Structure 1
């Protein structure tokens, strides 16, 4: 399994857009041109089949709320329990 992303690398790949309350992609020098043509400025991540918000960076998937915590605090949540489901109530 790939190592966890460093805070420095995370800050190179994403920024927080307060207007929409989400992480969005930044242009990146070391990824393909196709990414830089289509993704910068777009909301990062998606909802997986279980209703969890996931963001994949450099080939590794992350729990969205945990990654957001790491983005703002510079360290991973201690309990790593920041799990949220975006499923619609039935």
Structure 2
């Protein structure tokens, strides 16, 4: 007997990115081991505090490049494309589903 799935994508579910990333995922392990907050102190003198446009969070930038290194993605454009569809990458960067 053949089963046909129809329009499953329009159902609503209440779920968080946290629920979508397995507990033993590599990026969870990296996030548990490394406290990335030291980056703020390292780059603080490179930012102007009283004018200019808001920057991208420097921790997000470093994590972005780390994803590329860990998963062998050589292109920043390709990393951006992968982040659009990979929930583990989004979780690691602290991005929401809609970001």
TM-score (norm 2): 0.25
Instruction: Select the structure of larger CA radius of gyration.
Output: 2
Q: Which has the higher contact order (CA 8 A, sep 6+)?
A: 2
TM-score (norm 1): 0.27
